């Protein structure tokens, strides 16, 4: 039996790609598509999905995720903008319901490998900075991918990770110091999504670079998430957990 999926934000660019990818996957079934202004709770009751994928906006992602979880549906959250405290609250709600889901700052497999390599490299090159570049339409800065990269590097260095930073601390920043790691944000036409992690050593540098040219790069990760969350009993942060 195929997994019933509702796509919230289905008429945005990521949403449109997601709908097409799901339609092409025999293990998944589209049962509904949501847009700005829709009553998400009512649509979930009407369409009875097993999974809701959210690609909406930072302004509504927390409430959307809460609505999905409270309805007992598996969330796949691709919208950025959640603070650490909001993530923690959503994870606690999911744990209470023993409900599986994922919050993924990036669904690209290449981006996941970049972060994993960065965790290993920092043991030998402790001085690091992140440059992330996106199109002018991306509202949040630094990007969720850059923030997750910094978090993973910090944990790998076994430094204390403060949970006190809220999204307001870095909202709109074009240069931010996050967990002692500088993050530089670029927003220019002609760019879709790029990130560099630059490590400095004695007389040398080492750079990890990942470039996304098209939203199709995210689709294998989205499809994987829709299938894997069904078997989870908690909400994970990061596609690498799947």
Q: Kindly list the catalytic residues.
A: 134, 138
What's the DSSP call for residue 2? P
In whole angstroms, give the CA distance from residue 130 to residue 29.
38
Alpha-carbon gap, residue 99 to 73, rounded angstroms: 8
Alpha carbon 24 to its chain centroid, in Å, reads 23
- What is the C-alpha separation between 180 and 65, in angstroms, rounded? 30
What is the rounded CA–CA span in Å between residue 131 and residue 181? Answer: 11
CA distances from 159 to 62, 150, 164 (A): 28, 11, 15
Strands, DSSP E only, in 123-215? 127-134, 175-178, 181-187, 193-201, 204-212
Q: Are residues 153 and 124 in contact, defined by beta-carbon separation less than 8 angstroms?
A: no
**CA–CA separation, 113 vs 109, rounded Å?**
6
Query: How many CB atoms within 10 Å of residue 89?
Result: 16
H helix or E strand, kind and range, residue 232: none
Neighbours of 107 (CB within 10 A): 24
Q: Cβ of 115: how many Cβ atoms within 10 Å?
A: 25
């Amino acid at each position: 039996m195929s997994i019933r999926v509702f796509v919230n934000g289905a008429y945005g660019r990521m949403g449109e790609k997601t709908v097409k990818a799901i339609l092409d996957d025999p293990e998944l079934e589209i049962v509904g598509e949501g847009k700005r202004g829709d009553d998400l709770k009512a649509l979930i009751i009407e369409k009875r999905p097993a999974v809701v994928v959210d690609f909406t906006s930072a302004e509504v992602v927390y409430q959307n995720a809460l609505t999905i979880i409270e309805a007992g549906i598996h969330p796949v959250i691709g919208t950025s903008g959640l603070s650490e405290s909001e993530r923690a609250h959503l994870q606690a709600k999911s744990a209470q319901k023993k409900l599986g889901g994922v919050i993924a700052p990036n669904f690209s497999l290449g981006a996941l490998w970049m972060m994993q390599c960065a965790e290993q490299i920092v043991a030998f090159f402790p001085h690091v900075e992140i440059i992330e570049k996106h199109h002018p339409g991306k509202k949040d800065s630094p990007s969720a991918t850059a923030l997750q990269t910094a978090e993973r590097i910090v944990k790998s260095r076994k430094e204390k990770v403060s949970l006190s930073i809220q999204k307001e601390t870095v909202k709109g920043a074009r240069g931010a110091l996050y967990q002692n790691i500088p993050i530089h944000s670029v927003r220019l036409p002609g760019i879709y999504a790029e990130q560099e992690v630059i490590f400095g050593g004695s007389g040398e540098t080492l750079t990890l670079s990942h470039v996304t040219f098209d939203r199709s790069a995210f689709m294998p990760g989205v499809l994987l998430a829709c299938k894997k969350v069904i078997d989870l009993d908690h909400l994970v942060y990061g596609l690498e957990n799947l």
